[in-house]
Amino acid sequence: MTVKKTACMLCGNNCGLEVTVEDNRIVKVRGDKDNPRSQGYACRKGLSIKHYQHHADRLYHPLKRVGNAFEQISWDQAIEEIASKLSEIVKAYGPRSLATVAGGGSQGCPSQIPFLGLLLRNLGSQYIYSALAQELTGRYWVDGKTYGSQALHTEPHMEETDLLMAVGWNPMMSHHTDQSRRVLAKFSKDPDKLLVVVDPRRSETAKLADIHLEIRPGTDAMFYRAMISIVLNEGWQKDDYIDKHINGLDSVLSWGTDFDAAAALKLCELDYGRVREVCRLFTEKRSSHRSDLGVLMTRHSTLISYLETVFLSICGRIGVDGGNIFPVGVRPGGPASETPDEIEAKRWRTLATDFPCIAGCYPPNVLPEEILSDHPERVRAVIVSTANPLRSFADTSAYEKAFEALDLAVTVELSMTESAALSHYVLPARSGYESWDGGMRPLYPKTFMHFRAPALEPEGERLEGGEIYTRLADRLGLIPELPDALYQAADSGNHSAFRAELMAYIGSNPSAPQTIPFILAKTLGKAIGSVHLAWQWFNCHILPPSFNDRAAEAGFTPGPGLGEEIFQAIHDHPEGFWIGAVNPSDYDHFQSLATTDGRIHLDLPELRDWIREIDPEREAAKLEEDKDAYPLLMSSGLHWDLNANTAMRDPEWNNGKRAFTALMHPKDGEALNMADGQMVKVTTEAGSATIELHLSGLARPGYIVIPTGSDWCTRERPTGQMPISSPRTHTETRSPPRPCIDISGAGLKRYSGGQLSLGISKPKLLEESGCSPISWSL
């Protein structure tokens, strides 16, 4: 029995964990008090990671679909067949015929992504469809326009803020910020701090709030416009800050003051006086703001992201202590070499749906249309990795149809998922507990690093994700022949000798930079037994000189030995360590901005018409549309203690818990004469499914809530035969069907907070900015 330090892979916090390992199985888990970032914190999900690592649907060997079943094949056969199919398809139909779906499930395991990205790029394709592009690309697009880079985002300065406004964000359950329950509990107990929650339901976070604004779902754009107009009309804006840091205030004034805030707030079902008071407090205190899926996936979400930035800017709360600050990473701030528009102009747009690429991602909810289109260059081959599109993304039926139409579907996975089950090849990846993985996390004022050693021996023939893509690239002839000297230097164990050989090789081979991860994988990766670790070694050695001061602030020695010192720290600190820091007393947050003038730009011509189009009257009409057919609203996006997107696949985990129910307010239950626990048929514009009814105050009258991630459809899915794991099919993991009560007559409109809104309207810019028009995986 040994205790090993590692981390949780189930959300981006990557809390440090100590796992007790017996017979190569995790038997006990506790939060790691030595982890400087999480300090012993872990939520129910992290404490249950044995259910993520060990369950009946884990994969052990490469599989090939033959008819409706899977056969075990060798790695050589898998690589050979996939590579030859890939090259045939790309040769016959061009690089646009290849796409990947990746990213969402790699919240603790990002190392494989550069390898997959490189494979894709070397085959000429740009299509990376990612979960990010159904939640955050609207926000990123706005950040690109206002801050100059789609990679620059703000976070509330939690330690210093005195008023935190949380909109459409439920961190008490989603833990979508570091040590969330601990930090929020402390915050709410502090008499000098105020928590304002804007959420249609009495969420677990709303219960802690000093002020809970129970907004009518889908009206947040009206809410932000109202707040902006109140601040400007009351003259509460921070003129000095605006003079110094903001461009384009005139454009805001052109729509900001002349607005009927009272009518708007009436539509939001909020009290004008309370919202005015919140605005006053926000402008007077050291305030900060954070929104999440409740608005990122609601009506007008991209516009809301813009209005948030405007609100924070006029209140003078961006880039100030206690406000919204830019996390500190490794790269220096300052003007970007290319604007987001210039970058976008070089990227493809999707062919059938004409979506741009934002922050490197394409929206996964349009992929089925791209596959099923009759365009000659349509997508025909898909590699899925760290994602489960067949359950995670909108319109499962469309996805199923699209996957059946593919010439080649390859899924690289831990488990036999719904997406794997419809693929031609399924390749077993090592989990983050069986491979080296992790990385760097910009925070403020410090940057955190946790690159973890495997806690377990890999079982079966599982490989590191990076190794799988290296083998494919090699077979496809994408990796140049490397000199013996490079292999020898790698084998010598002398990292400086290897570094010198590598630099010499790169210096004399101008095309080498296009394949560096693969070169490292084949040389150093082979020598040290991990391609991920080899890639990390390289990353330690290419830190920009501007990072020297930050590394020194964290206790490292700047200079030529810095890369190796940090690489050594990875081994010496299995609990993670601070890799860099800035000194808050003399730190200028605005140095992060990537605009050429170092100011925040608020004039976004692309949004002007959209802003004017939304007024209380028109919004009221839109929100009432289809009310006869669909009198209720629904969010199918609750992220709570009993789910972790689709990644927790062991039914044991939630044994005896009501993990997957439709939550309805008891008042609605009474009005519809429905009882807690009965099965109901939920019908939306997208389809129908049967689910257990749960009468709960966590819902809001007229508003049904369904957790994300679970498989609640009653349709059978082909799962094929799973030779290595159990023969259990996915449909059997659900609770047994019971008699249904049909509430389809009542109808539901699918909607916000975890998927879309756009049953109601289809704002053009939302589409243009990469937020997809369809959602809800049913």
Ligand X SMILES: Nc1nc2c(c(=O)[nH]1)N[C@H]1C(S)=C(S)[C@@H](COP(=O)(O)OP(=O)(O)OC[C@H]3O[C@@H](n4cnc5c(=O)[nH]c(N)nc54)[C@H](O)[C@@H]3O)O[C@H]1N2
Binding site for ligand X (CB under 6 A): 9, 11, 45, 104-106, 109, 131, 135, 167-171, 173-176, 198-201, 203, 215, 217-218, 220, 292-295, 298, 385-388, 392, 412-415, 417, 429, 431-432, 465, 635-641, 643-647, 708-709, 752-755, 776-777
Using DSSP bridges, classify how beta strands 577-581 and 446-452 pair: parallel, antiparallel or unpaired: antiparallel
User: For residues 34 and 578, is the Cβ–Cβ distance under 8 A?
Assistant: no
Q: Does 455 bind ligand SF4 (CB under 6 A)?
A: no
408, β-bridge pairs: 381
Name the minimum Å distance from CB 44 to ligand SF4: 7
Name the minimum Å distance from CB 559 to ligand X: 35
Name the minimum Å distance from CB 72 to ligand X: 18
The one-letter code for the residue type at 429 is: A
Q: What order do you get walking across the sheet with 688-695 strand by strand? A: 740-742, 679-683, 688-695, 661-664, 703-707, 632-638, 748-750
Q: Which does 396 bind (CB under 5 to 8 A by kind): ligand X, ligand SF4, none?
A: none
DSSP state of 452: E
Alpha-carbon distance of 523 to 482, in angstroms, equals 9
Name the minimum Å distance from CB 681 to ligand X: 18
Q: Which distant-in-sequence residues (6+ apart) come within 8 Å of 235 by Cβ?
A: none
Residue 54 or 285 with smaller CB distance to ligand SF4: 54
Name the minimum Å distance from CB 47 to ligand SF4: 7
495 three-class SS = helix
Alpha-carbon distance of 771 to 761, in angstroms, equals 13
The one-letter code for the residue type at 490 is: A
Name the minimum Å distance from CB 435 to ligand X: 8
Q: Which does 161 bind (CB under 5 to 8 A by kind): ligand X, ligand SF4, none?
A: none
Alpha-carbon distance of 263 to 260, in angstroms, equals 5
Q: Which does 8 bind (CB under 5 to 8 A by kind): ligand X, ligand SF4, none?
A: ligand SF4
Q: Which of 152, 238, 237 is nearest to 595 (CA)?
A: 152
Residue 173 or 680 with smaller CB distance to ligand X: 173
CA distance to 40, 153, 340, 363, 668, per residue, from 345 (Å): 45, 22, 9, 17, 50
Name the minimum Å distance from CB 623 to ligand X: 11
Q: Does 19 bind ligand SF4 (CB under 6 A)?
A: no
Q: How far is CA 756 from the centre of its chain?
A: 16
Alpha-carbon distance of 547 to 332, in angstroms, equals 7
Q: Which distant-in-sequence residues (6+ apart) come within 8 Å of 232 by Cβ?
A: 252, 253, 256, 257, 314
Q: Which does 302 bind (CB under 5 to 8 A by kind): ligand X, ligand SF4, none?
A: none
Name the minimum Å distance from CB 555 to ligand X: 31
Name the minimum Å distance from CB 384 to ligand SF4: 22
Residue 47 or 527 with smaller CB distance to ligand X: 47
Alpha-carbon distance of 557 to 559, in angstroms, equals 6
Tokens of 502: 């590598």
Q: Which does 131 bind (CB under 5 to 8 A by kind): ligand X, ligand SF4, none?
A: ligand X
Q: Which does 46 bind (CB under 5 to 8 A by kind): ligand X, ligand SF4, none?
A: ligand SF4
Q: Does 10 bind ligand SF4 (CB under 6 A)?
A: yes
Q: Which does 316 bind (CB under 5 to 8 A by kind): ligand SF4, ligand X, none?
A: none
Q: Which does 13 bind (CB under 5 to 8 A by kind): ligand X, ligand SF4, none?
A: ligand SF4
Q: Does 46 bind ligand SF4 (CB under 6 A)?
A: yes
CA atoms within 13 A on the CB side of 11: 24
Q: Which does 540 bind (CB under 5 to 8 A by kind): ligand SF4, ligand X, none?
A: none
Alpha-carbon distance of 576 to 570, in angstroms, equals 7
DSSP state of 98: E
The one-letter code for the residue type at 673 is: N
Q: Does 13 bind ligand SF4 (CB under 6 A)?
A: yes
User: For residues 227 and 275, is the Cβ–Cβ distance under 8 A?
Assistant: yes
Q: Which distant-in-sequence residues (6+ apart) come within 8 Å of 746 by Cβ?
A: 631, 632, 672
Residue 118 or 167 with smaller CB distance to ligand X: 167
Alpha-carbon distance of 379 to 610, in angstroms, equals 32
CA distance to 248, 573, 624, 748, 750, per residue, from 760 (Å): 32, 51, 9, 12, 9
Residue 38 or 125 with smaller CB distance to ligand SF4: 38
For residue 33, the tally of other CB atoms under 10 A from its CB is 12
Sole window of 8-16, 117-125, 185-193, 230-238 interacting with ligand SF4 (rule: CB under 6 A)? 8-16
Name the minimum Å distance from CB 296 to ligand X: 7
Tokens of 593: 């901005």
Q: Which residue is nearest to ligand SF4 (CB)?
A: 46
Name the minimum Å distance from CB 20 to ligand SF4: 16
Q: Which residue is nearest to ligand X (CB)?
A: 104
Q: Does 45 bind ligand SF4 (CB under 6 A)?
A: yes
Question: Residue count at the site for ligand SF4 (CB under 6 A)?
Answer: 11
Residue 339 or 636 with smaller CB distance to ligand X: 636
Sole window of 43-51, 316-324, 443-451, 722-730 interacting with ligand SF4 (rule: CB under 6 A)? 43-51
Q: Is 299 left (phi over 0), alpha (psi -120 to 50) or beta?
A: beta
Q: Which does 169 bind (CB under 5 to 8 A by kind): ligand X, ligand SF4, none?
A: ligand X
Name the minimum Å distance from CB 429 to ligand SF4: 19
Q: Which distant-in-sequence residues (6+ apart) come within 8 Å of 647 by Cβ?
A: 10, 52, 105, 388, 709
Sole window of 10-18, 402-410, 462-470, 556-564 interacting with ligand SF4 (rule: CB under 6 A)? 10-18
Name the minimum Å distance from CB 524 to ligand SF4: 29
Residue 285 or 639 with smaller CB distance to ligand X: 639
Name the minimum Å distance from CB 432 to ligand SF4: 11
Alpha-carbon distance of 373 to 599, in angstroms, equals 43
Q: What is the footprint of ligand SF4 within residues 142-201 (CB under 6 A)? A: 175
Which residues would be at the binding site for ligand SF4 (CB under 6 A)?
8, 10-11, 13-15, 42-43, 45-46, 175
